Structure formats: structure tokens, C-alpha cells
Amino acid sequence: MTRVLIIGATSAIAAACARRWATDGAQFMLVGRDAGKIDAVARDLSVRGASATATFVLDALDTDRHGDMLAAAVAALGTIDVALIAHGTLPNQQACQNDVPQTLREFASNATSVIALVTLLASHLERQRHGALAVITSVAGDRGRPSNYVYGSAKAAVSTFCEGLRPRLFKAGVSLTDIRPGFVNTPMTAGLPLPALLVAQPDAVAARIVTGIARRRDVLYVPAFWALILLVVRLLPRTIFKRLSL
């Protein structure tokens, strides 16, 4: 039986991952900021085969309560086999450009709160001497682009943090997977003018994520073709890149 902690468990991608783990009888600690939504996810997982499901209400920006959350997870699960961090927000770039407090709030939501949780969970799993830590970042973090550089820079900060942390955890028998989704059909992206051919469905994304975590992948582009797309984007010379409106 796999014991799974999911932070941001009501997100479409996280919930889709949880459904896959539930069919194998996993035990869950689900963490989210909306009690009603997280209870609904818990009931759904129980119907799908989860052996047990506990919940914890947390606003990830409230870093003072991260320790309480981890204590509750350990009490409910005993051992944490998989910890998935999936919370985040998609800011309006134009609004952020003219509002310093909003920019800092979005950076806290997508970077500093995530780094705080990664730090806490990494130390716990290191002491545990086994387990898998997975963090949903974004392909947006591979290179800053004019259309979303507040979001992209936050995700890049998390990816760089994970890159430095990974060797430490590897020596303790713990894997760290940086999950970088492209466009996914979720409530977060609803209404955005996205190219239909590049938009993936949450269930397909979840299948790749669950498999990638099990295989202890370091970096996981979802879907896989984003690795090639971002390779091209990263290789564009700055003299060209600054003239584009990506």
C-alpha cells in the first residue's frame, strides 16, 4: 500500500493523480485550502478504492502551519511514500507589471511557499531514508518569456532549488521529481487562447506523472514533446528572443 501526501490536492492534475493511486488502494493525506472541495476529493477517492483518506485544511502561504500539516500527515500515514506538491496560481502578467504587492504575492504562491514545503518535506524524507518527493513546476520556468515572466521566474526558482537539493536526497535514497507540464485543460487555464493541439487532458498528464514518480525520474516534461519545444526555445539567441512576443 502506497501512502501519499498531496498538497494542493484539489487541483485538476493532483486529483487526477490521486485517482490513479486510489485504484491501487493507496492511503492519502489530502491538503488544500478549501475544506468543502478537499472533502469532495476524499469521498471520490474512497469510492475509487483508497484504503483510507485524511484531510488537512491549509493555505500554503501560511508557512507557520506547514509543520502542523506535516505532523498531521505523519500521524495519519505513519510513513510517507510519495509527497506531491501541486498548489499554485496563474497570475495575470499585465496586472503584475503595474502592482508590486501582487507580483510578490504571486511569487510567494508559486515559489517561496513551495520552497518552504520542499525544505520541510525533504528533511523529513531524508530522516526517513526512503520515499519520493515530487513538485509540479512548469515549462514556463525553462526560460523567461514576456507573456508570463512573473509566473515563469517563480517556477524557475523552484526548479533550480530542486536541482541543488536532488543530490542530497539521492544519497538518502529519496527521489525528487521536477514535473514540468505544458498547457493542460484545467480550470486554471480556462478561457486562455491556447493552441488546441498543444493542450493535454488532466488524466493523460496524471498517467505520465504517476509513472514518472514510480520510475524516480529527475525532470519530467508533460507531455513529453515539451522537452523538444523548450530545447528550441532555450537555444534561441537573445538577440532574436528579445524581438519575439512569446
CA separation for the pair 193, 99 (Å, rounded): 24
Quick one: which of 154, 156, 204, 179 has its CA closest to 83? 179
CA angle at residue 146 from 204 to 117, to 5 degrees?
55
Phi first, then psi: what are they for 11, rounded to 5°? -65, 150
The one catalytic residue in 28, 56, 151, 226 is: 151
| Residue 151 among the catalytic residues | yes
User: Which stretch of DSSP H or E encloses residue 179?
Assistant: strand 174-181
Coil, strand, or helix at residue 136? strand
DSSP states of 49-108: T-SEEEEEE--TT-GGGHHHHHHHHHHHHSS-SEEEE-------HHHHHT-HHHHHHHHI
CA separation for the pair 141, 221 (Å, rounded): 12
b/e code 67-79 from CB counts within 10 Å (16+ = b): eebbebbbebbee
Cell of 138: 512548469
DSSP 109: I
b/e code 31-49 from CB counts within 10 Å (16+ = b): bbeeeeebbebbeebeeee
Q: Which residues are known catalytic residues? A: 151
